Structure 1
Amino acid sequence: MLHGHVEEAGSMSDGGAVSAVKAVIIPGNGGGNVEESCMWYGWTKRRLDKNTNIQCLLRNMPDPFTARESIWLPFMESELQCDAHTIIIGHSSGAAAAMRFAETHQVYAIILVSAYTTDLGYDDEKESGYFNRPWQWEKIKSNCGYIIQFGSTDDPFLPWSEQQEVADNLGAELHKYTDRGHFQNTEFHELVSAVKKLIPVK
């Protein structure tokens, strides 16, 4: 779903160079080596790397357990270089980070997996800083070329009402499931397909 205007990736920049789209995976909190974890992060990166039109970045995040906004967003900007040519794929805490990042930065697209809107009453979620103020939905929409969301009604951590709230406020292309839980599988074929559809045809 198209929201606002984002410079077409692959178009000529001021310097005359072609700017390619890249994907950046922002994992959920929890720590460990994200590329070698049992989650779909590393599998997705390897699948996307096989596509010659896109580069995929996946890094261990600083402050991996509390996932503080004050640490993650600067890391996304400076180290991962998320910009107007970036597809940000955020899972759980990473989805919250992707949304907050898009409030103040233009990005090519955000893909939200297991997104939510409140701290859910958990102390570590309160400490993260993402949920201490209202969401700026209109700014997110205006800064994103595309917004895609994956959610499941049987998520053991997130109520469906919060996932639906994200979809309603962002007008996201919602992929709704009833049997995927918190999307902690080792493979995620639908996500790879969604990313590939966003890659501009040269």
Structure 2
Amino acid sequence: MSGAECIPVKAVIIPGNGAGNVERCLWYGWTKKRLEKIPNFRCLLKNMPDPFTARENIWLPFMESELECDDKTIIIGHSSGAAAAMRFAETHKVYAIILVSAYTSDLGDENEKESGYFSRPWQWEKIKNNCGHIIQFGSTDDPFLPWHEQQLVAEVLSAELHKYTDRGHFQNTEFNELLSAVKKLIPATS
């Protein structure tokens, strides 16, 4: 899928699990407000169903029916939301996925195991074929995710990797680099 076939009309932010009110959590609401200032562009951010376990069989249908993720959508996924974005892209064409704190296994955590994202092999080629662009933000000092898992995602997806050593799990209230990355994907703001 080339950028000439379609242009993105919206971004959808998929939060990490346990986010509570997503409008007031981390950088999610801050990012949404700034993206909505772009002419002819929308940003959707909603409280997810099953917010603590973040089950794939609940989140992916919600992304399709309620958030209307499609080939004109930039999906921004953080942590569990990154896992959801990757699984969604295995079976759906999307304009882009931006992965923040992405990982590949349940890390031995029961809640992560119960989510369902890690119950089978990843379909990396399908993800790459269904995404026009793949951007990833990761930090070597993430207290929850080992760097080798984040790096593996970047390598197998040939992602444009933004590697940091001091961002932890990206739990700040602002995220200017993410905002810049999204703007670069929208032709009108280039």
State whether TM-score is above 0.5: yes
Alignment of 1:158-177 (within 5 A): 158-177=145-164
Asked whether 1:8 is paired with 2:8, we answer no
Whether the aligned pair in 2 keeps the contact of 1:21 and 1:86 (CA below 8 Å) is: yes
Code of the aligned partner of 2:89: A
Relative to structure 1, is the Cα distance of residues 136 and 6 closer, same or farther in structure 2, using a 3 angstrom cutoff? Answer: farther
Alignment of 1:67-106 (within 5 A): 67-106=54-93
TM-score (norm 1): 0.91
Structure with greater Cα Rg? 1
Asked whether 1:43 is paired with 2:40, we answer no
Tell me how many residue pairs correspond in the alignment: 189
CA distance in structure 2 between the aligned counterparts of 1:181 and 1:98, rounded to whole angstroms: 20
Using the aligned pairs only, state the percent identity: 79
Distance apart, 1:32 and its partner CA? 1.3
Post-superposition CA distance 1:31-54 (Å, at most 9, x none):
4110012x0000000011111131
Relative to structure 1, is the Cα distance of residues 71 and 6 closer, same or farther in structure 2, using a 3 angstrom cutoff? Answer: farther
Q: Give the aligned CA root-mean-square deviation in angstroms.
A: 1.3
Structure 1 unaligned spans of 5+? 11-19
Q: Secondary structure at the match of 1:185?
A: coil
CA distance in structure 2 between the aligned counterparts of 1:98 and 1:123, rounded to whole angstroms: 21
Distance apart, 1:5 and its partner CA? 3.9
Which runs of 4 or more aligned residues in structure 1 lie more than 6 Å from their structure 2 counterparts after TM superposition?
none
Code of the aligned partner of 1:89: I
Post-superposition CA distance 1:68-94 (Å, at most 9, x none):
000000000000000000000000000
- Determine which of 55, 68, 76 is the counterpart of 2:42: 55
- Determine which of 140, 151, 157 is the counterpart of 2:127: 140
Post-superposition CA distance 1:158-180 (Å, at most 9, x none):
00000000000000000000000
TM-score (norm 2): 0.96
Asked whether 1:22 is paired with 2:19, we answer no
